[in-house]
Structure 1
Amino acid sequence: MATWARIGPDISTGIDLNSNIFEPFYNYHVEFRNPRMPPSATLLLKVYSIDRFSLKLVLIGWAALNVFVESGNETSPTVDSGVVQISLNEGAHQLRLYYDGPDPDKPLSINAVTIEGRYIPCATLLVRLVKARVDKNLRALERDKVPKTEWIKLGLFQPRPNYDDKVYYSDKARPTTGENYLYHAMVNRSVVLVREIIPMIAGSKEQDLRTDDEIENWIRMKLSKLTDDKPLSFNLTYISRYLTTYGIKLSVDEAKNLPWANFTLAHSSFNPPGAYYFGSAWAKYDYPVFVENIDFSSLQKCPTWLDNFTAFPRRVYNKYLTVIVHLHEVAVSSLEAGALTYDLKDQAWTALQVFSKGYCNTAIYQLPLYQGAPTQRYLECLIPTLVPNVKSILFSSK
Structure 2
Amino acid sequence: MNIQFNKVLEKAQEYKDNISKFLRDMIAIPSESCREKEVILRIKEEMEKVGFDKVEIDPMGNILGYIGHGKHIIAMDAHIDTVGVGDSSLWEYEPYKGYEDDEIIIGRGASDQEGGMASMVYAGKIIKDLGLEDDYTLIITGTVQEEDCDGLCWQYLINESGIKPEFVVITEPTSLNVYRGQRGRMEIKVTTKGLSCHGSAPERGENAIYKMAPILNQLKALHENLYVDEFLGKGSLTVSEVFFTSPSRCAVADSCTISIDRRLTWGETWEGALQEIRNLPGVKSVNAEVSMYNYEKPAYTGLVYPTECYFPAWVVEEEHGACQTVVKAYEELFNNKPLVDKWTFSTNGVSIMGRYGISCIGFGPGHEDQAHAPNERTWKDELVKCAAMYAVIPKIYVNKYAK
Bin for the TM-score computed over the shorter chain = under 0.3
User: Structure 2-normalised TM-score?
Assistant: 0.21
Pick the structure with more helix per residue. Answer: 2
Task: Give the greater-gyration-radius structure (CA).
Answer: 1
User: Structure 1-normalised TM-score?
Assistant: 0.22
Higher relative CO (Cα under 8 Å, sequence separation at least 6) belongs to 2
